[in-house]
C-alpha cells in the first residue's frame, strides 16, 4: 500500500499542502483564562500520543483543539521527531502551547486528521521542512510558507481515512506492547 509520495494511482491528485491542511488555524482563548498547556518538553519524540500536559494561565502561544497535529518548527526539536496529535482535551476545549509549534488541521471534506499526522512525520513532509529552516545557528525555524506550498500527490478522502486508521492501529499495538513490556519489568 503506497501512502505518501509521487508515484501513485490515478485517483490521487497533485495538491499543495495548503489545499488539504489548515496551517495555524485561528482559535479563541481569552487572556488569563486557565487551560491545558502543552510545552515542547511534553512532546515525546516519534510518538503520536501526548502523554502529559499542565494546566496554566493563558498569556499567549499557539492554540489548538483535539485532532490537530503539533509539529515542532524549531531546531533541533523537529529533527528529533517532536510531532504529536492532540488528544488530551475535552470536547469543545481549546488548549495552548509553545509558539514553536506549527498546528496542522484537517480541512473538512478534504482531509483526514490521522492522515495529516502521518503525512507530517513522513520524509515527504519532514525533509523539506528541515531544509527550509532559517535563522541563527541553534535557533533555526521552519518556513511555514515552504510547507504550505509543498506539492505532492494525495489520495481521495476515503483512502486517507483508511490509511490513517491502518497506521493508527499499528501505533496502538506498539503502545500496548510497550505497556506490557513496562509492566513485565516490574513484576
Report yes or no on 5 lying in a domain: no
22 domain residue, yes or no: yes
Which of the four pLDDT bands, split at 50, 70 and 90, describes residue 9?
A: low
**44 in a structural domain:** yes
CATH of the domain at 64: 3.90.220.20
The radius of gyration of the chain from alpha carbons, rounded to an integer in Å, stands at 17
Q: Is residue 6 a part of any domain in this protein?
A: no
Q: What is the mean pLDDT of the chain?
A: 92
Q: Is 140 a member of any domain?
A: yes
Predicted TM-score (pTM) of the model is 0.90
Q: Cell match 513485565: residue?
A: 184
The confidence score (pLDDT) of residue 21 equals 98
Residue range 132-172, pLDDT digits in tens: 999 887 789 999 999 999 999 999 999 999 999 999 999 88
In a domain, 139, yes or no: yes
pLDDT of residue 4: 58
The total of structural domains in the chain comes to 1
46, part of any domain: yes
Residue 180: give the domain boundaries.
13-185
- So what's the pLDDT on residue 187? 67
The pLDDT tens digits for 63-98 are 999 999 999 999 899 999 999 999 999 999 999 999
In a domain, 7, yes or no: no
- What percentage of the chain carries pLDDT values higher than 70? 94
Which residue would you say has higher pLDDT here, 148 or 176? 148
What confidence tier does 1 reach under pLDDT thresholds 50, 70, 90?
Answer: very low
Amino acid at each position: 500500500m503506497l501512502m505518501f509520495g509521487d508515484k501513485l494511482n490515478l485517483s490521487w491528485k497533485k495538491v499543495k499542502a495548503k489545499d488539504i491542511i489548515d496551517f495555524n488555524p485561528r482559535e479563541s482563548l481569552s487572556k488569563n483564562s486557565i487551560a491545558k498547556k502543552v510545552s515542547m518538553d511534553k512532546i515525546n519524540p516519534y510518538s503520536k500520543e501526548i502523554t502529559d500536559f499542565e494546566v496554566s494561565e493563558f498569556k499567549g502561544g499557539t492554540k489548538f483543539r483535539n485532532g490537530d497535529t503539533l509539529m515542532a518548527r524549531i531546531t533541533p526539536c523537529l529533527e528529533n521527531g517532536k510531532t504529536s496529535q492532540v488528544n488530551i482535551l475535552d470536547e469543545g476545549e481549546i488548549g495552548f502551547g509553545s509558539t514553536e509549534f506549527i498546528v496542522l488541521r484537517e480541512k473538512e471534506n478534504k482531509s483526514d486528521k490521522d492522515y495529516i499526522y502521518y503525512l507530517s512525520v513522513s520524509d515527504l513532509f519532514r525533509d523539506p521542512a528541515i531544509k527550509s529552516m532559517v535563522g541563527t545557528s541553534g535557533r533555526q525555524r521552519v518556513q511555514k510558507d515552504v510547507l504550505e506550498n509543498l506539492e505532492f500527490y494525495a489520495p481521495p478522502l476515503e483512502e486517507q481515512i483508511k490509511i490513517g486508521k491502518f497506521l493508527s492501529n499499528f501505533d496502538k499495538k506498539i503502545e500496548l506492547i510497550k505497556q506490557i513490556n513496562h509492566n513485565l519489568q516490574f513484576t
